[in-house]
């Protein structure tokens, strides 16, 4: 391999690693902004009275605006992370395979979902003193329903990734099979969100055991595990290339 080719290869994998780090930036930044600063860990019950919800937005207007503004900033890093997953998938599926594109598009649309929901909560807190409680409730509900009910874009991303990784013909797969099966499982947990519009309390409400702690919790755990698995796959691809 020529010096120029070697430099290009090293630069390529360096950019791959930067994309993996984007996943960590998304995870930490989003959990701190949307989750902690934005009062979403734990989140507000959908059964809260309209006056109490309005009072919450009035009392914490500046904090919510800051939190949602930061969440919208950190959300696109997830798309960057999805791009490197797609590149690793191409090493298995080939350049003409469609599922790597499905995975990357799923990551891109997931970002749009997070940003639109974040803007909805931000608007509810913006000039809240000029809004009626009904308007704040509508924006708050829209944000949560849009955030949760569009789960299928992320589910398809996970299932596309799982299918490709499970069909790796290497003696030792680039990504362990259990990571792929975890992706299948997490995607299936999202299906429970279909029940969300019918419950204001209990495990299927948007703050419930299944539709909050299990679904969202498993998603963030999935990001951690996939980031580690993809980092290991990149290291292996670099060794094989050398």
pLDDT digits (tens, 9 = 90+) for 115-141: 999 999 999 999 999 999 999 999 999
CA distance 144 to 141: 5
Query: Over 60: is that where the pLDDT of 11 sits?
Result: no
Query: Over 80: is that where the pLDDT of 191 sits?
Result: yes
Query: Over 50: is that where the pLDDT of 3 sits?
Result: no
Render pLDDT for 30-69 as a digit per residue (tens, 0 to 9). Answer: 999 999 999 999 999 999 999 999 999 999 999 999 999 9
Check residue 16 and report its DSSP letter: H
In this prediction, residue 5 carries a pLDDT of 44
Q: 3-class SS at 183?
A: helix
Cβ(121)–Cβ(147) under 8 Å?
no
Angle of CA points 155, 157, 160, to nearest 5°: 105
Q: Is 41 left (phi over 0), alpha (psi -120 to 50) or beta?
A: beta
Give residue 10's pLDDT band: very low, low, confident or very high (50, 70, 90).
Answer: low
Render pLDDT for 231-240 as a digit per residue (tens, 0 to 9). Answer: 999 999 988 8
Cβ(30)–Cβ(70) under 8 Å?
no
Q: Averaged over 212-218, what is the pLDDT?
A: 96
Q: What is the mean pLDDT of the chain?
A: 94
Check residue 45 and report its DSSP letter: P
CA distance 193 to 154: 12
Check residue 195 and report its DSSP letter: G
Query: Over 90: is that where the pLDDT of 6 sits?
Result: no
């Amino acid at each position: 391999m020529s010096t120029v080719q070697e430099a290009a290869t090293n630069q390529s994998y360096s950019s791959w690693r930067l994309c993996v780090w984007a996943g960590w930036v998304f995870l930490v930044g989003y959990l701190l902004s949307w989750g902690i600063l934005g009062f979403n860990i734990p989140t507000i019950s959908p059964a809260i009275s309209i006056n109490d919800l309005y009072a919450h937005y009035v009392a914490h207007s500046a904090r919510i605006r800051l939190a949602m503004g930061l969440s919208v900033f950190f959300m696109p890093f997830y798309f960057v992370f999805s791009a490197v997953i797609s590149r690793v998938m191409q090493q298995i599926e080939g350049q003409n395979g469609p599922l790597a594109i499905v995975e990357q598009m799923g990551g891109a649309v997931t970002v749009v979902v997070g940003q639109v929901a974040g803007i909805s909560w931000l608007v509810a807190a913006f000039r809240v003193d000029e809004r009626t409680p009904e308007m704040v409730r509508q924006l708050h509900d829209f944000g949560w329903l849009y955030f949760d009910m569009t789960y299928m874009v992320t589910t398809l991303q996970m299932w596309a990734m799982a299918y490709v990784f499970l069909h790796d013909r290497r003696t030792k797969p680039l990504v362990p099979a259990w990571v792929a099966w975890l992706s299948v499982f997490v995607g299936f947990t999202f299906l429970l969100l279909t029940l969300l519009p019918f419950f204001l309390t209990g495990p299927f409400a948007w703050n419930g055991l299944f539709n909050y702690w299990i679904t969202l919790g498993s998603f963030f755990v999935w990001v951690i595990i996939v980031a580690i698995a993809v980092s290991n796959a990149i290291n292996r691809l670099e060794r094989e290339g050398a």
